[in-house]
Amino acid sequence: MPRGDALDSVPVMGALWRASTRPVGSVRAVTSPDRSVVLTFDDGPLPGSTDGVLASLADAGASATFFVLMTRVRKAPGLLQEIISAGHEVALHGPDHVRLTTLTTRQVVDRTRAAKLELEDRLGRPVRWIRPPYGSQSLRTWSAVRGAGLVPVMWGATTWDWKDITTPQRLEVAMSHLSPGQIVLAHDAIADAEDGADPRVDFPLDRGVFAKQLLAGYHDRGYTVVSLADALARGGRLRSWAWFGR
């Protein structure tokens, strides 16, 4: 839990905390004029995995925001174009999966700026958002990525699709606090040592199939699933407050 979030559970204190930290805020939700959630996928693109996620999104008529790693984009540039061609939004997860809080301010600014330019060059359009790996962020790294021209986007709900648990457990955690305008964290891949990520235990998960099950869960509850860009285009507004820690 990011620092300060304990206050969120206390009604008046939570509102005060969110309002007072907006100037140093990260995007954590949107105000939604309808029953929709913002679905996000991190750590891709990965051939054999992201394609399945794209197929499930297309079947459901849903859009999503993909926070990509440049280490992955360089290995699968065609897949990046497929994401865009299918009408989804692409944003930056990072040049790689190193925790920003372990780097100097200069390194964060230079690396983020270079990755943003490289991604924009490949996309032919501007990139607005960054999701720092692990959601790891300090006031110093927040300032650095803002200085590099990007806005941090975190999340309010998770799918636990990086944990070796059952699909019913994943769906239960994803749906347990469902609310309009929620930003949902999912993965079309999982970063590994080649991306500079922490060591992890591998487990089998067909992410295309899981995306289909997740989308069915939202559909059953009357929710539309959209990218952050589409949420704003539909009249949603960004909700930002502090996210520091981890």
Binding-site ranges for Zn ion (CB under 5 A): 42-43, 133
Give CA–CA dist 207/53, Å, rounded: 6
When the beta carbons of 22 and 75 are compared against Zn ion, the nearer one is: 75
**Distances 206 to 47, 62, 83, 164, 212 between C-alpha atoms, Å:** 12, 19, 18, 12, 10
**Least Cβ distance, residue 194 to Zn ion (angstroms):** 13
**Least Cβ distance, residue 130 to Zn ion (angstroms):** 12
Give CA–CA dist 235/246, Å, rounded: 32
Concatenating the DSSP letter of every residue in 82-95 gives HHHHTT-EEEEEES
**Least Cβ distance, residue 208 to Zn ion (angstroms):** 18
**What angle, 0 to 180 degrees and rounded to 10, lies between the N-to-C axes of helices 77-85 and 50-60?**
10
When the beta carbons of 133 and 208 are compared against Zn ion, the nearer one is: 133
When the beta carbons of 22 and 200 are compared against Zn ion, the nearer one is: 200
When the beta carbons of 42 and 188 are compared against Zn ion, the nearer one is: 42
When the beta carbons of 60 and 195 are compared against Zn ion, the nearer one is: 195
When the beta carbons of 8 and 96 are compared against Zn ion, the nearer one is: 96
**Least Cβ distance, residue 104 to Zn ion (angstroms):** 21
Which single residue brings its beta carbon nearest to Zn ion?
A: 42
Instruction: State both tokens at 17.
Output: 């905390």
Beta strands in 3-121 (DSSP E): 26-31, 36-42, 65-69, 89-94
Instruction: State both tokens at 180.
Output: 């309009």
**At residue 158, what are phi and psi to the nearest 5 degrees?**
-125, 165
**Least Cβ distance, residue 133 to Zn ion (angstroms):** 5
**Least Cβ distance, residue 97 to Zn ion (angstroms):** 6
